[in-house]
Homo-oligomer: A and B are copies of this chain.
Amino acid sequence: MTPNRPRCSVFIAVSLDGYIARRDGGIDWLHSVDMPGEDYGYKAFFDSVDVVLLGRNSYDVVLGFPEWYYGDKRCVVLTHRAAESLHGEEFYSGDVAALVQQLGESGVRRVYVDGGTVIQQFLKAGLIDDLTISVIPILLGDGIRLFAGGEPELPLKLESSQSWESGLTQLRYRAEKR
């Protein structure tokens, strides 16, 4: 990591066969692990990041929610299509390494990299520092893959693993120095 480069983190749920959503974007199968009062560490993670970075697909999904999902957290949407900023969100369409550099210069320490396409872009650019993967106990057989293939090889260090009564197992990895 170059000096001042913010830490770039993934926090995401996948089926055992590696899908983050059904082919149509459906995440109904995630409800199998919904447990009262259990957020699997999401809030602590969310509180630890300074910026959420997401792709256009995720953004369009989030726009459909009854209220703005990210509160007053700084939010940058990676998109080539112009959009109106309704909640202070920013739009960006350039090189992701340059974006991360700019974010670092503006004082950002940790970035939440969200959405399959954006995560792949970051992996390809060698910019992911840690991944928290929640494995949901189901095989879907089809859908949108978290790791679509074509990412560079990346050795990881397991930092922790934890399982819950629901059958969710959360694996936390740090990228080994490249």
Q: Which residues of A contact B (CB under 8 A)?
A: 16-18, 29, 32, 123, 131, 133, 135, 137-142, 146-147, 149-158, 160-161, 163, 167-169, 171, 173
Contacts and interface: CB of A to CB of B under 8 A. Distances in A.
A35 to B, nearest CB: 13
A153 B169 contact: no
Copies of the chain in the assembly:
2
A123 B158 CA distance: 29
A147 B32 contact: no
A17 B156 CA distance: 11
Contacts of A163: 158, 160-161
Contacts of A173: 16, 137
9 contacts: A17-B149, A32-B155, A138-B156, A142-B149, A142-B150, A156-B167, A157-B167, A158-B169, A160-B163
